[in-house]
Amino acid sequence: MSLPVVYCMMTQNSLLETKECVDLVSPYVDKVVLVDGGSIDDSMFWFRNLESEDSDFHYFLHPWTENFSRQRNNYLKRAREVIGHDNFYCLVSDPDEFFEPETLAALPKIVDACEAGGYNMASFRCRSVTLKYDEVVWENLDEYWKGLLLKWYPDLKYVGNPHEGIDMPGGQRILRTNYEYRHQKQENVIWKRGMRNLYTGGGGPNLSDSNKLWVELKYIIKDEYGKELGWHEFHDELMRANVGPKLKEWLIRVRKEDGYDGSSEHRECYKYYFRMLHPEEEPEELKGEYIP
Protein backbone atom coordinates (compact mmCIF):
# COMPACT_ATOMS: atom_id res chain seq x y z
CA MET A 1 0.00 0.00 0.00
CA SER A 2 1.37 3.41 -0.98
CA LEU A 3 2.34 5.93 1.65
CA PRO A 4 -0.16 8.78 2.15
CA VAL A 5 0.19 12.07 0.27
CA VAL A 6 -0.58 15.54 1.66
CA TYR A 7 -1.16 18.29 -0.88
CA CYS A 8 0.43 21.57 0.30
CA MET A 9 -0.01 25.06 -1.11
CA MET A 10 0.60 28.66 -0.07
CA THR A 11 -1.76 31.32 -1.39
CA GLN A 12 -2.80 34.94 -1.04
CA ASN A 13 -5.60 36.73 -2.89
CA SER A 14 -5.84 34.01 -5.54
CA LEU A 15 -9.21 32.47 -4.77
CA LEU A 16 -10.17 31.27 -8.26
CA GLU A 17 -6.81 29.67 -9.08
CA THR A 18 -6.40 28.16 -5.61
CA LYS A 19 -9.91 26.71 -5.67
CA GLU A 20 -9.22 25.15 -9.09
CA CYS A 21 -6.00 23.55 -7.80
CA VAL A 22 -7.68 22.20 -4.68
CA ASP A 23 -10.65 20.85 -6.63
CA LEU A 24 -8.32 19.07 -9.07
CA VAL A 25 -6.04 17.50 -6.49
CA SER A 26 -8.33 16.71 -3.53
CA PRO A 27 -9.76 13.42 -4.91
CA TYR A 28 -6.25 11.99 -5.35
CA VAL A 29 -4.59 12.79 -2.00
CA ASP A 30 -5.17 11.96 1.65
CA LYS A 31 -5.08 15.48 3.09
CA VAL A 32 -4.93 19.06 1.81
CA VAL A 33 -3.05 21.83 3.66
CA LEU A 34 -3.57 25.41 2.52
CA VAL A 35 -1.52 28.21 4.08
CA ASP A 36 -2.89 31.72 3.48
CA GLY A 37 -0.68 34.78 3.89
CA GLY A 38 -3.61 37.08 4.71
CA SER A 39 -5.95 37.27 1.73
CA ILE A 40 -8.33 40.24 1.54
CA ASP A 41 -10.50 38.68 -1.18
CA ASP A 42 -13.08 36.03 -0.24
CA SER A 43 -10.49 33.27 0.17
CA MET A 44 -10.78 33.02 3.95
CA PHE A 45 -14.58 32.68 3.89
CA TRP A 46 -14.56 30.19 1.03
CA PHE A 47 -11.90 27.91 2.50
CA ARG A 48 -13.11 28.13 6.10
CA ASN A 49 -16.51 27.00 4.84
CA LEU A 50 -14.88 24.17 2.88
CA GLU A 51 -12.91 23.16 5.98
CA SER A 52 -16.13 22.88 7.99
CA GLU A 53 -17.52 20.40 5.44
CA ASP A 54 -14.40 18.40 4.51
CA SER A 55 -12.41 16.79 7.34
CA ASP A 56 -9.44 16.19 5.01
CA PHE A 57 -9.09 19.88 4.09
CA HIS A 58 -7.10 22.11 6.47
CA TYR A 59 -6.76 25.89 6.19
CA PHE A 60 -4.22 27.93 8.16
CA LEU A 61 -3.51 31.65 8.36
CA HIS A 62 0.19 32.56 8.49
CA PRO A 63 0.62 36.32 7.87
CA TRP A 64 2.96 36.95 4.93
CA THR A 65 6.45 38.07 6.01
CA GLU A 66 8.00 38.72 2.58
CA ASN A 67 9.73 35.33 2.69
CA PHE A 68 8.79 32.48 0.35
CA SER A 69 10.82 29.78 2.06
CA ARG A 70 9.40 30.64 5.48
CA GLN A 71 5.84 30.36 4.18
CA ARG A 72 6.51 27.05 2.43
CA ASN A 73 8.07 25.71 5.63
CA ASN A 74 4.82 26.63 7.36
CA TYR A 75 2.92 24.23 5.14
CA LEU A 76 5.50 21.47 5.66
CA LYS A 77 5.05 21.86 9.41
CA ARG A 78 1.27 21.86 9.12
CA ALA A 79 1.32 18.78 6.89
CA ARG A 80 3.02 16.81 9.67
CA GLU A 81 0.42 18.04 12.14
CA VAL A 82 -2.59 16.95 10.10
CA ILE A 83 -1.23 13.55 9.01
CA GLY A 84 -0.02 12.66 12.52
CA HIS A 85 3.14 10.67 11.68
CA ASP A 86 6.47 10.96 9.83
CA ASN A 87 5.98 8.53 6.97
CA PHE A 88 4.31 10.40 4.13
CA TYR A 89 4.88 12.50 1.01
CA CYS A 90 4.05 16.13 0.26
CA LEU A 91 2.72 17.11 -3.16
CA VAL A 92 3.29 20.84 -3.59
CA SER A 93 2.34 23.51 -6.10
CA ASP A 94 1.61 27.20 -6.43
CA PRO A 95 -1.79 28.60 -7.49
CA ASP A 96 -0.59 28.93 -11.09
CA GLU A 97 0.61 25.30 -11.30
CA PHE A 98 -1.97 22.68 -12.26
CA PHE A 99 -1.36 18.93 -12.26
CA GLU A 100 -2.65 17.00 -15.24
CA PRO A 101 -5.24 14.27 -14.44
CA GLU A 102 -2.83 11.57 -15.64
CA THR A 103 -0.22 12.85 -13.18
CA LEU A 104 -2.62 12.80 -10.26
CA ALA A 105 -3.92 9.33 -11.10
CA ALA A 106 -0.34 8.04 -11.12
CA LEU A 107 0.59 9.36 -7.66
CA PRO A 108 0.41 5.97 -5.87
CA LYS A 109 2.60 4.42 -8.56
CA ILE A 110 5.11 7.28 -8.33
CA VAL A 111 5.25 7.07 -4.53
CA ASP A 112 5.85 3.31 -4.74
CA ALA A 113 8.61 3.84 -7.32
CA CYS A 114 10.30 6.38 -5.03
CA GLU A 115 10.15 3.99 -2.10
CA ALA A 116 11.43 1.04 -4.13
CA GLY A 117 14.27 3.01 -5.73
CA GLY A 118 15.41 5.00 -2.71
CA TYR A 119 14.29 8.35 -4.14
CA ASN A 120 13.14 11.17 -1.85
CA MET A 121 11.72 13.45 -4.53
CA ALA A 122 9.87 13.10 -7.83
CA SER A 123 9.98 15.75 -10.53
CA PHE A 124 7.37 16.55 -13.18
CA ARG A 125 7.76 18.13 -16.59
CA CYS A 126 6.49 21.66 -17.06
CA ARG A 127 4.05 22.63 -19.80
CA SER A 128 4.08 26.44 -19.97
CA VAL A 129 0.77 28.01 -20.98
CA THR A 130 0.13 31.73 -21.52
CA LEU A 131 -3.39 33.09 -21.56
CA LYS A 132 -4.85 36.33 -22.85
CA TYR A 133 -8.17 36.51 -21.05
CA ASP A 134 -9.35 32.88 -21.39
CA GLU A 135 -7.60 32.20 -24.70
CA VAL A 136 -4.38 30.21 -24.89
CA VAL A 137 -1.95 32.37 -26.88
CA TRP A 138 1.21 30.34 -26.30
CA GLU A 139 2.02 26.83 -25.12
CA ASN A 140 5.23 24.84 -24.87
CA LEU A 141 6.37 21.56 -23.33
CA ASP A 142 9.55 22.74 -21.63
CA GLU A 143 12.83 20.96 -21.07
CA TYR A 144 12.33 21.66 -17.38
CA TRP A 145 11.38 19.31 -14.56
CA LYS A 146 10.38 20.56 -11.10
CA GLY A 147 10.51 18.58 -7.87
CA LEU A 148 6.93 18.72 -6.62
CA LEU A 149 6.57 15.42 -4.72
CA LEU A 150 8.73 15.35 -1.59
CA LYS A 151 9.25 12.68 1.01
CA TRP A 152 8.72 14.30 4.39
CA TYR A 153 11.56 14.34 6.93
CA PRO A 154 11.74 16.24 10.24
CA ASP A 155 14.57 18.42 8.85
CA LEU A 156 13.07 18.95 5.38
CA LYS A 157 12.96 22.67 4.61
CA TYR A 158 12.99 25.33 1.93
CA VAL A 159 15.86 27.83 1.83
CA GLY A 160 16.43 31.11 -0.04
CA ASN A 161 14.23 34.07 -0.93
CA PRO A 162 12.55 34.90 -3.25
CA HIS A 163 14.07 32.08 -5.34
CA GLU A 164 13.94 29.15 -2.97
CA GLY A 165 15.36 25.66 -3.06
CA ILE A 166 14.69 22.43 -1.17
CA ASP A 167 17.14 21.40 1.52
CA MET A 168 16.59 17.63 1.63
CA PRO A 169 18.28 15.75 4.51
CA GLY A 170 20.92 13.46 3.03
CA GLY A 171 20.73 15.23 -0.33
CA GLN A 172 18.20 15.11 -3.15
CA ARG A 173 17.64 11.77 -4.87
CA ILE A 174 15.24 12.68 -7.65
CA LEU A 175 13.04 10.40 -9.73
CA ARG A 176 12.43 12.25 -13.00
CA THR A 177 9.03 11.28 -14.39
CA ASN A 178 7.35 11.87 -17.74
CA TYR A 179 4.23 13.18 -16.02
CA GLU A 180 3.31 16.84 -16.51
CA TYR A 181 2.00 19.91 -14.78
CA ARG A 182 0.86 23.17 -16.35
CA HIS A 183 2.43 26.48 -15.40
CA GLN A 184 -0.40 28.73 -16.50
CA LYS A 185 -0.35 32.50 -16.39
CA GLN A 186 -1.83 35.58 -17.96
CA GLU A 187 0.21 37.36 -20.61
CA ASN A 188 2.70 39.85 -19.12
CA VAL A 189 2.17 38.72 -15.52
CA ILE A 190 5.91 38.09 -15.53
CA TRP A 191 6.42 41.86 -15.31
CA LYS A 192 4.97 42.01 -11.81
CA ARG A 193 6.78 38.87 -10.70
CA GLY A 194 10.07 40.14 -12.08
CA MET A 195 9.72 43.40 -10.19
CA ARG A 196 8.73 41.54 -7.02
CA ASN A 197 11.73 39.19 -7.27
CA LEU A 198 14.10 42.08 -7.86
CA TYR A 199 12.66 44.12 -5.01
CA THR A 200 12.65 41.32 -2.45
CA GLY A 201 15.91 39.56 -3.28
CA GLY A 202 18.03 41.74 -5.53
CA GLY A 203 17.22 39.92 -8.78
CA GLY A 204 18.78 36.91 -10.46
CA PRO A 205 19.85 34.18 -8.00
CA ASN A 206 19.05 36.43 -4.97
CA LEU A 207 21.91 38.84 -5.74
CA SER A 208 21.04 41.18 -2.86
CA ASP A 209 23.85 43.66 -1.99
CA SER A 210 26.02 42.49 -4.88
CA ASN A 211 23.50 44.14 -7.21
CA LYS A 212 24.41 47.84 -7.00
CA LEU A 213 21.19 48.87 -8.75
CA TRP A 214 19.20 47.09 -6.05
CA VAL A 215 21.17 48.89 -3.33
CA GLU A 216 20.48 52.17 -5.12
CA LEU A 217 16.76 51.34 -5.31
CA LYS A 218 16.62 50.65 -1.57
CA TYR A 219 18.25 54.02 -0.85
CA ILE A 220 15.74 55.76 -3.11
CA ILE A 221 12.81 54.02 -1.36
CA LYS A 222 14.03 55.02 2.08
CA ASP A 223 14.62 58.59 0.93
CA GLU A 224 11.23 58.97 -0.77
CA TYR A 225 9.05 57.24 1.84
CA GLY A 226 11.06 57.86 5.00
CA LYS A 227 11.49 54.17 5.79
CA GLU A 228 12.14 50.77 4.28
CA LEU A 229 9.06 49.20 2.70
CA GLY A 230 8.13 45.56 2.32
CA TRP A 231 7.04 44.43 -1.13
CA HIS A 232 3.32 44.73 -0.44
CA GLU A 233 3.76 48.20 1.04
CA PHE A 234 5.83 49.26 -1.95
CA HIS A 235 3.35 47.72 -4.37
CA ASP A 236 0.56 49.75 -2.76
CA GLU A 237 2.55 52.92 -3.49
CA LEU A 238 3.04 51.81 -7.09
CA MET A 239 -0.68 51.14 -7.45
CA ARG A 240 -1.49 54.61 -6.14
CA ALA A 241 1.12 56.16 -8.48
CA ASN A 242 2.75 57.62 -5.38
CA VAL A 243 6.16 57.57 -7.03
CA GLY A 244 8.63 60.42 -6.87
CA PRO A 245 11.00 61.69 -9.58
CA LYS A 246 14.06 59.78 -8.32
CA LEU A 247 12.24 56.47 -8.48
CA LYS A 248 10.80 57.23 -11.91
CA GLU A 249 14.28 58.12 -13.16
CA TRP A 250 15.58 54.79 -11.82
CA LEU A 251 12.77 52.88 -13.56
CA ILE A 252 13.50 54.61 -16.85
CA ARG A 253 17.25 54.07 -16.58
CA VAL A 254 17.10 50.32 -15.81
CA ARG A 255 14.86 49.59 -18.83
CA LYS A 256 18.11 49.20 -20.82
CA GLU A 257 19.78 46.66 -18.49
CA ASP A 258 20.91 43.56 -20.36
CA GLY A 259 23.42 40.77 -20.57
CA TYR A 260 23.58 39.33 -17.06
CA ASP A 261 21.52 37.13 -14.75
CA GLY A 262 18.69 39.25 -13.38
CA SER A 263 18.88 42.04 -15.96
CA SER A 264 15.46 41.12 -17.38
CA GLU A 265 13.90 41.77 -13.97
CA HIS A 266 15.13 45.36 -14.10
CA ARG A 267 13.49 45.85 -17.48
CA GLU A 268 10.29 44.32 -16.15
CA CYS A 269 10.17 47.01 -13.45
CA TYR A 270 9.81 49.65 -16.15
CA LYS A 271 7.22 47.66 -18.09
CA TYR A 272 5.15 46.84 -15.03
CA TYR A 273 4.93 50.42 -13.79
CA PHE A 274 4.68 52.34 -17.07
CA ARG A 275 2.93 49.81 -19.31
CA MET A 276 0.71 47.88 -16.91
CA LEU A 277 -0.11 50.07 -13.91
CA HIS A 278 0.12 53.61 -15.25
CA PRO A 279 0.58 53.86 -19.04
CA GLU A 280 -0.63 57.45 -18.83
CA GLU A 281 2.64 58.30 -17.07
CA GLU A 282 5.01 56.76 -19.62
CA PRO A 283 7.18 59.46 -21.22
CA GLU A 284 5.93 60.24 -24.72
CA GLU A 285 9.34 59.68 -26.27
CA LEU A 286 9.47 56.12 -24.83
CA LYS A 287 6.00 54.97 -25.82
CA GLY A 288 6.29 52.19 -28.35
CA GLU A 289 9.97 51.63 -27.64
CA TYR A 290 10.82 47.93 -27.83
CA ILE A 291 11.98 46.60 -24.47
CA PRO A 292 12.76 42.86 -24.55
User: Do residues 248 and 261 share a domain?
Assistant: yes
Name the domain count of the chain.
2
Rounded to the nearest integer, the mean pLDDT of the chain is: 96
Q: What is the pLDDT of residues 176-216, one digit of tens each?
A: 999 999 999 999 999 999 999 999 999 999 999 999 999 99
Decide if pLDDT at 257 tops 90.
yes
pLDDT at 228: 94
pLDDT score for 107: 98
Q: Which of 120, 155, 186 represents a domain boundary (last residue)?
A: 186
pTM metric for this prediction: 0.89
* Structural domain of 60: 5-186
pLDDT score, position 152: 98
Q: Which of 136, 157, 186 is the last residue of a domain?
A: 186
The residue-averaged pLDDT of 232-256 equals 96
pLDDT of 178 reads 96
Do the domain assignments include residue 292? Answer: no
User: Sorting pLDDT into bands at 50, 70 and 90, what band is 83?
Assistant: very high
pLDDT beyond 80 at 1? no
Q: Residue 139 maps to which CATH number?
A: 3.90.550.10
pLDDT on residue 19? 97
Going by C-alpha positions, the residue among 2, 49, 51, 57 that lies closest to residue 25 is 57
113 plus 58 within the same structural domain: yes
Q: Is residue 50 located within the same domain as residue 75? A: yes
User: What pLDDT score does 35 carry?
Assistant: 98
Q: What average pLDDT does the segment 160-173 reach?
A: 95
Indicate if 114 and 252 belong to the same structural domain: no
Domain edge (last residue) among 150, 171, 186: 186
For residues 227-237, average pLDDT: 95
Identify whether 291 is part of a domain.
no
Q: What average pLDDT does this structure show over 146-160?
A: 97
Asked whether residue 22 carries a pLDDT value surpassing 90, the answer given is yes
Please tell me the distance from the alpha carbon of residue 184 to that of residue 181, in angstroms, as a whole number: 9
Q: Say if residue 136 is in the same domain as residue 250.
A: no
- Residue 196 confidence (pLDDT): 94
